[in-house]
Structure 1
Amino acid sequence: MAIIPNIIFAVVLIAGIGFFARNVRKLARNIRLGKSTDRSDNRSQRFKNMARIALGQQKMVVRPVAGIMHIIVYLGFLIINIEVLEIIIDGLLGTHRIFSFLGGFYTVLIGGFEILAILVLVAVTVFWIRRNIIRLQRFWNPEMKGWPRNDGNLILYFEMVLMVLFLVMNATDAPFQQMQAGNVISRFIAPWFDGLPASTVHVVERSAWWLHIVGILVFLNYLYYSKHLHILLAFPNTYFASLNPKGQFNNLEAVTNEVKLMMDPNADPFAAPPEGEDDAPPEKFGASDVTDLNWVQLLNAYTCTECGRCTSECPANQTGKKLSPRKIMMDTRDRLEEVGKNIDNNGTFAEDNKSLLDNYITREELWACTSCNACVEACPVSIDPLSIILDMRRYLVMEQSAAPAELNNMMTNIENNGAPWPYNQMDRLNWKNEG
């Protein structure tokens, strides 16, 4: 009968990992709905960016208080969960503290875990106070109502409970306390249970042990439904981020070739394109729905941490415009999830008469953007809201001719006069004076 707990543990472990794998496949499927784009260039620079931004948290410490607190939680997540490996082995084999044979190294390791657990508790408490007591404005923007706000708090509660369970598990583990092996924090918690029978303390320890590992599995599977998916996706997102200068916009090859023909009197309009180039126009200019975006933009949407740094830096948002770069990413993710569920229910996408444009993101938001790249610069995990805004603008202009009147006037002048101003080409001095 002693093997029954090990069997139960194996079933719980397989179920937790299996459900997580199912969600990962769904996530990958949804991201692959995006258009193809090549991000295989300059691998060394991409790995450097990933190490510097995702692993090294370089952009987080631009705001020191939040940055340092986040690094503590981040290290706690990475390092303390090394201890999960011991729990898994103990759970499957029925052993107890199997890594204790490492001696002094084990003492240092567990001691470090316990100190980190306390630091994580402090950091998470600070984060909760900033969100709910101080009420920093970026956590209370309109797009943060309802689930997004609750999700942020729920994650903090999750982390608090997991750290407390870890410390209680160690404090009530009598053999571990007798070993004096790294119990630098739990030794002060252990006396709280001195008045209880040994059997009761053992039940508390086993309960904390089970709740801790089950809580980690629940947390792992919760990630897919939470903004904290960035814990996993920050690494590929920073790797595949654009390496182009932030002020460099992408041009459609077909449009570029068309302009060259218009401006070069010696160009042959019937000449075949150079080898390796394709001047055929795309099926659709720009993007009106998530499937018109490329897969890196969809990866961006799932990676968004909802921290609001992009929106707090956005000059349009600061001046009262409706644009919030964070909302752009949240809306893109929500629409992508809706498309994914549609495919799950129907086997293939069934037209739902909805789109990212208008149903999720308004035209007013798109045209409020100044294209300044402040949101891209501010993002701690290299997300690019501007690329989505520009692709949707491109659709409005090139597919629907729905640009603002001022922009339409300018483009009409360029088409007719070769300049943004309403003067005949013969009147170049007027252009000079206008400029």
Structure 2
Amino acid sequence: MNNDAGGDRRPSTWTREHASGLERTAENTAPVIYPPDEPTDPDNHIWDTWLLRTPDGEIADVGGYRVIVALSAPNDLLPGKRHDVATHRFYYSADGRTWTPGGTLFGDSDPLGSRQWAGSAIYDPETGAVSLYYTAAGHRDESDLSYTQHLAVAHGGSIRVDDGVHFDGPWEHDSLARPDGEWYEREEQSRGMIYTFRDPWYFEDPETGEAYILFEGNTPVPEGTDACGGDAEQQAFNGSVGIARADRDDPTACELLPPLVDGVCVNQELERPHVVYRDGTYYLFIASHKHTFAPGLDGYDALYGFAADALFGEYEPLNGTGLVATNPANAPFQAYSWLAYGHRGEILVTSFFNYYDYDRPSLDDVGLLPAAEQFRRFGGTLAPTLRLGVDGLETWIRGTLAHGHLPTKDEPLPETETERLARLRGERDGRDGYGR
């Protein structure tokens, strides 16, 4: 175990040996998703989504409501163009099932970047302060879209309940961090298909009280090095889970630290990293795509995870390979951008409903479809929530909840069908109740 958060610490490694064992099983494959009766937002597509949390990681209760923030784009825009205009919108719910659109998040203030990608949202009930961490993509007022990225924060605003939920400014927007070129690759250093420095996720270590920001980056691999056995093509796949020291009292404070995990030679994108702390174990989750795995590896659009007994400890891949939950083979792109949180001895996982009735081998083929078919096959709403069982380094899908059902920690969940059948047989698995 490595508790050193300083510059001499080496990241844990997701290796090609781990990833070579990736395969779908009954315990990691989600059921096929069908469209809901009504979308979360009738006017906008939404995708990457996160919950408003308190600094200690609990889901925030604001006057009896819980709140989610999501990337959004008008639903008359071709789905493949949504990242070019991504805007943060928020939604609130009293029951965790029906979500009311609250509008755009930042009001009249001007966030950094030409558009804003994923992040996290923190509400401090002691002070009423709200901090909204996000990815600033591109430059303000650019005539041609660029894909430069840096971590940013909006602070100074507040939230109130008055005939619904409202965020109030004035917001101040500050840049948090940019890649240093040593631990985290700069855009001009990139040799990969996709450049990443994004997805800031605020986390307070429950064992130390220290605050951190996790994010997605790339590890620099200079040409001519012996990484990946000197294979230049594999070296371009160099995703990492980055971390920076933060300050609970100053949302603009940010000091880069070495990565927690690197996937050099394995995967280019370790997206939306976040941690669920459970019974002394740190569960680190990421999302990644089939097409971002290095040559010679066959992965999936899926939720992947690692575990350690300290935040800066040695992370081991869950289930031996890192694969936690994926889409079925006949609907390989039906959901994406999974986000996990703890709930009454299990872990719940939300995601967005992506492309369905679509089983081509690559998302690149979506653009070959007529526009009407691209619209028809894109969900653009909250997906069914997965229920994960967890036992040490082992996880399994226990069941699902409805589209967009995001319970709080005190809401009891129904017995799964597998558990019901096992109970009728009088069987127990000795870990989390009746059988898996």
TM-score scaled to structure 2, two decimals? 0.26
Higher percent of residues as helix? 1
The structure showing larger relative contact order (alpha-carbon pairs under 8 Å, at least 6 residues apart) is 1
Higher percent of residues as strand? 2
